[in-house]
Structure 1
Amino acid sequence: MASSPTPPPSPHPRRAALRKGAVALAGAAALAASLLSPSAASADQAFVSDADTSANVTHIANVPKSEAMGDFNSDLAFVGDYAIGGNYNGFVIYDISAPEDPRVVSEVLCPGGQGDVSVSGDLLYFSVDYTRASDECGAPAVPTTDPNAFEGIRIFDISDKANPQYVAAVRTDCGSHTNTLVPGKDGEHEYIYVSSYSPSASFPNCQPPHDKISIIEVPLDDPASAEVVDAPVLFPDGGFRNTSGCHDITVYAERDIAAGACMGDGILMDISDPAAPVVTDVVQDSNFAFWHSATFTNDGATVMFTDELGGGGGATCLESIGSERGANAIYTIGGTEADPELAFEGYFKIPRLQSSTENCVAHNGSLIPVPGQDFFVQSWYQGGVSVIDFNDPAAPREIGYFDRSPIDEDRLVLGGSWSAYYYNGYVYSSDITRGLDVIKITDPRVRAAERVPMDEFNPQSQPEYRPGRR
């Protein structure tokens, strides 16, 4: 197999010194967030889809971004009848109790970079990976060379969805590009695995080699006292190729396992002690440029990794790139419980070639919880949303899709679906520039998923799905 090049810098690099989209709130008090009025996007309006879809996929609704959230939309998390959408300027809470008519409940302006989100009951964890002058929501951006700059995790109380409250901030080395919610064993604590990367000798708070993650312990009765309790090194002998941290870590807490997508490496971990994860296997793939994310099957026997070739900004769904780069790689987990082994089975890449002006590559997705079956829904930026059957891990195939035309026919611009997740009968897609999309899959092969109720969903914290479970 031909080796793949190191990906070029992303159009939204995590170590950017200053962000044009950052908004400072003059005179903001410490740990204060600016609560904005719900945007006009939630007003009643006739909906006409502009997407091309397969016969078994219907575009139900779209909520455009407001002017205040004019920067990139990022990840999604869900609790009850609400979806929380991250944005480089903060986050948005949507009421999705009526999926055909989602409504904006509140918007919180709190810039800090990617803004990945995880939710746990009334707590929201928010990633900050662009350096700010302090941990205040209104603090201006500062260069990464500032030793007093803040990056890390912000914690919000969202018990009142119309009026979220900023609770605390926890600084972490290299900030937080993504975060993973990990339930504690005692019912009194939970943990946040903080993934970050791209160290430099010139960054005082992000020194190389940075082959580690940060672990934040959150006391559930006092989340304001959350703190970093460890920063375990996952690659004591150094990672493969360009590894200098992890991009995503997905935990399957009910099976005490986790999978890490760590730039140049895919890893499997034992998290039976969630405060002390242990790496149990490491794999590389010469076709992978950037190990980005991971998802387990419900039986925990298979894991799908994604390759973000080009950092998300490249047009890689082209015939010249081929079907094995910028794709998913599927591994089965063999060996023993004490010594598991990842075994490669096959690749999946969307078969729908895209234009040279469309950024397109494997990105965030989730299982469709069909009992005893393996189906996946996934974002591909301007490649749209794909519905994948990987019941045969060696021969996965697309069985449905949602795909818009290029944002710009003449030049390559960043856009498309950042994340697409199944939640209680619908797929919710966070489009970088066009807002929140709601999609319905009408394929009989996935209909049984509607009998699996979901009370909470986080991209990097997989539950075990059981029919009728509450």
Structure 2
Amino acid sequence: MSACTNEREEPEPPPVTNDSLGDWEDTGRYAACELLTTTAMACGDRESFNLTGCDAGSLASVPADGIYTMVYRNDGTATPSIGVGSFRVSADGSLDSYRGAAPTERKVDASTFFLSSTRRQSSTVTLRNSVVGCRAEGNRLYGCYVSCRNGRANGAGTFLAERWTRRAGEAEASGLALLSESFVEQGFPVDIYVTQGHAYVVSTPDGVEAGGLTVFDVSNPAAPVLKARTSLPNDNYWNGVWAKGNALYVASANSGVMVFDITSPASPQLLKSVPSGRGQIDVHTVFVEGERLYAMSPSPSPRTLIFDIQQPLEPRLLGEYAEPGAATDARVGFPHDALAFEGVLYINHWSSGYLMVDVSNPESPKKVGTYTYPYATSHANAVGKFGDRRIAFEGGESWGAHLRVLDVTDPAQPKRLGEYKLEANASIHNMVLKGERLYIAYYHHGVRVLDVSVPESPKEVAYYNTFREMDPGRGQGFYEGAIGMRVPGDGYVYVIDTSRGLLIFPEP
């Protein structure tokens, strides 16, 4: 390069560690059926599928009463993409549900399995979703699906559905005893924070029911007392919550981070939303470490916002980290959750994997390493010191999502040490590390407690199966069961179950 030019060499991009072990492995199409490309039948009709290669006789073995979780494999992309869902069937059809609503068409008998739901999204948009069975093996059903918009297919492929059952040999609980249970009457409860003797539960909308904030006095964990409910008419998709001092931070899909004053813990007072002056901003999760607040925003432009909270009620924006390409390419993903530890911010960036970002200078964060894997849905993590090693626990949120144990002592060269995996038809969700115990909210598999004193070999030491088929709202979607969790160090484990609400357990 000439000394007379102003050109500067671009810095080397930080290294990426690609692990070959993914949550989901593509074994090809799940069934021999297919959507007919030329048909006089309406999109979504059973007759619009070619079922000539199917084993209709095997469908008689499909359990006709139960909740099924499912994985969709899309036929319409060069590289297979997947999605997840759920349906529920009952012998008399009274409990049937698909895509969160009663099917508008249903035919389930010894040789046929067909569910179809139609709904109006708006005055100009009608959606129809249909699944048809092709063959069955035990508790598994294989078939085809189609998604229709205004009568035209906009997604089709094959699926695998598996009837949910409690894990073989498990009782309701082992090593965990339920102390109290408090129903959350507002929306779909998803997260919790516990401080000043109170539990703050946030909810997202559930159908026509608004989400919001519910406050319980848990000074007596055996008998929580409902103290307050808060919601706003056009701003109530509240998905994450944290606190520092007398400030409560709520992640809003509409207005960023909502700041509540909890000087009176039972009566939160909304003060403001940050950042201001940017219009609508979706913040999905929040995390506090020391005098920093981190807010993970998937839209309108994916990024992690970094605030100074030396004055907890007056967050001040310091900087932000945006993964290159995230604003223009959906395949790059978005920051779903994050955790800061010893100057490094560990970001679960969905399809891009697990990012390690140096935030020692919050005005200019710098990515130092990435750990990723096929079909990544990096969702939650926990990090701690084990001797001289820094160990991270990472989990996705999809079919087959499970726990990975990583050595991140050198964030530029993360190494997988071990894993903890249950059945593929239920996903891991949030996790909390306390010393050598890792607590996991594992959706349909309830609460799992692991001894991670030897990180390479996580050992389950306790569990509680929170999922019960007959609880209200079960079978509406893939993401059901134990979802939110805190272990604040007061001797108790606080868990949010999507149907049952707030569950409190003594620490095992």
TM-score range, shorter chain: 0.5 to 0.7
* 2:202 corresponds to: 86
Question: Structure 1: which 5+ residue stretches go unaligned?
Answer: 19-50, 132-150, 185-190, 200-205, 310-315, 317-324, 443-470
Q: Closer, same or farther in 2 for the Cα pair 1:180/1:160, shift >3 Å?
A: same
Query: Which residues of 2 match residues 232-271 of structure 1 at below 5 A?
Result: 232-235=321-324, 242-252=331-341, 255-264=342-351, 265-271=353-359
Alpha-carbon offset, residue 431 of structure 1 = 1.1
Residue type of the alignment partner of 1:277: P
Q: 1:281 — aligned with what? A: 369
SS class of match (2:174): coil
User: 2:296 maps to which residue?
Assistant: 195
| Structure 1 residues 440 and 408: alpha-carbon distance in aligned structure 2, compared to 1, 3 A threshold | same
* AA at the equivalent of 2:500: R
Instruction: Indicate the residue corresponding to 1:329 in structure 2.
Output: 404
* Structure 2: distance between partners of 1:221 and 1:293: 25
**Residue in structure 2 matched with residue 425 of structure 1 by the alignment:** 491
Equivalences for residues 203-352 of structure 1 within 5 A:
206=300, 210=302, 212-218=303-309, 220=311, 223=314, 226=315, 228-235=317-324, 242-252=331-341, 255-264=342-351, 265-286=353-374, 289-299=376-386, 301-309=390-398, 316=399, 325-335=400-410, 340-350=412-422
Amino acid across the alignment from 1:302: I
Please state whether the residue corresponding to 1:361 is helix, strand or coil: coil
SS in 2 for 1:341: coil
- Choose from 455, 469, 475 the match for 1:412: 475
Partner of 1:59: 178
Q: Counterpart amino acid of 1:58?
A: A
Deviations 1:54-106, CA, capped at 9 Å, x for gaps? 3321111101123xx1x110111121322211112211222222221222222
Q: In structure 2, what is the Cα distance between the partners aligned to 1:238 and 1:106?
A: 38
Higher relative contact order (CA 8 A, sep 6+): 1
Residue 162 of structure 1 aligns to a residue whose secondary structure is coil
Q: Which amino acid aligns with 2:216?
A: Y
Q: Deviations over 1:356-401 (max 9, x none)?
A: 7xxx2111121133xxxx2111111121000112223222222211
Contact 1:77 1:119 in 2 (8 A): yes
Does the 8 Å contact 2:391/2:405 carry over to 1?
yes
Q: Equivalent residues in 2 for 1:125-204 (5 A)?
A: 125-129=249-253, 131=254, 151-171=255-275, 174-184=281-291, 191-197=292-298
In 2: Cα distance, 1:238 partner to 1:87 partner: 27
User: Normalising by the residue count of structure 2, what TM-score does the alignment of the two structures yield?
Assistant: 0.59
**Conserved in 2, the CA contact under 8 Å of 1:292 and 1:363?**
yes
Q: Note if contact 2:326-2:333 (Cα within 8 Å) is conserved in structure 1.
A: no
Tell me the secondary structure at the aligned position of residue 239 of structure 2. Answer: coil
Task: Quote the Cα distance in structure 2 between the aligned partners of 1:239 and 1:386.
Answer: 38
Q: Aligned partner of 1:195: which letter?
A: M
Structure 2 unpaired stretches of 5+? 1-19, 25-79, 86-98, 101-120, 123-169, 205-210
Per the TM alignment, residue 183 of structure 1 is displaced from its structure 2 partner at its CA by 3.0
Distance 2:171 2:265 in 1: 34
Partner amino acid for 2:189? N
| Matched-pair contact (CA < 8 Å) for 2:408–2:415 | yes
Matched position secondary structure for 1:334: coil
Comparing 402-411 with 415-424, greater Cα deviation is found at: 402-411
Aligned to 2:230: 108
Instruction: Label 1:108 to 1:117 Cα distance change in 2 as closer, same or farther (>3 A).
Output: same
CA contact (8 A) 2:189 2:497 kept: yes
Do the aligned partners of 2:245 and 2:312 also contact (CA within 8 Å) in 1?
no
Letter in 2 for 1:344: R
CA contact (8 A) 1:246 1:263 kept: yes
Residue 177 of structure 1: how far off its partner (Å) = 0.9
**2:373 counterpart letter in structure 1:** D
Alpha-carbon distance in structure 1 between the residues aligned to 2:376 and 2:246: 37
- Note the C-alpha offset of 1:217: 4.1
Amino acid at match of 1:385: V
Report deviation, 1:215.
Answer: 2.9
Contact 2:261/2:313 (<8 A) preserved = no
Counterpart Cα distance in 1 of 2:447 and 2:507: 11
Which digits, 9 at most, give the CA deviation of each residue in 1:113-157, with x for residues without a partner?
14311111111111111x4xxxxxxxxxxxxxxxxxxx3111110
In structure 2, what is the Cα distance between the partners aligned to 1:153 and 1:256? 22
CA distance in 2 between counterparts of 1:239 and 1:390 reads 39
Map 1:443-454 → 2, pairs under 5 A:
none
Rounded to whole Å, the distance in 2 between the matches of 1:227 and 1:175 is 18
Any idea what SS the aligned residue of 1:242 has?
helix
- Looking at secondary structure, tell me which structure has more strand per residue: 2
Q: Supply the AA of the counterpart residue of 1:79.
A: T
Q: 1:219 to 1:366 in 2, by over 3 A?
A: closer
Deviations 1:137-190 (A, max 9, x none): xxxxxxxxxxxxxx3111110111232111001256741011222433xxxxxx
By how many angstroms is 1:420 displaced? Answer: 2.4
Bigger radius of gyration, 1 or 2? 2
Paired residues of 2:485 and 2:496 also in contact (CA < 8 A): yes
Which residue does 2:127 correspond to in 1?
none
Q: C-alpha distance in 2, partners of 1:240/1:328? A: 27
- Hey, what's the Cα distance between the residues in 1 that align with 2:239 and 2:177? 29
State how many pairs are aligned: 335
* One-letter identity of the residue aligned with 1:92: T
Q: Distance in 2 between matches of 1:107 and 1:152?
A: 20
Q: Percent identity?
A: 18
Question: Which stretch of structure 1 is more off in the superposition, 89-98 or 213-222?
Answer: 213-222
Q: 1:437 deviation in Å?
A: 0.2
Amino acid at match of 2:343: D
One-letter identity of the residue aligned with 2:282: G
Write the distance in 2 (CA, Å) between the matches of 1:305 and 1:87.
24
Given candidates 464, 477, 485, the residue that maps to 1:402 is 464
SS of the residue aligned with 1:326? Answer: coil
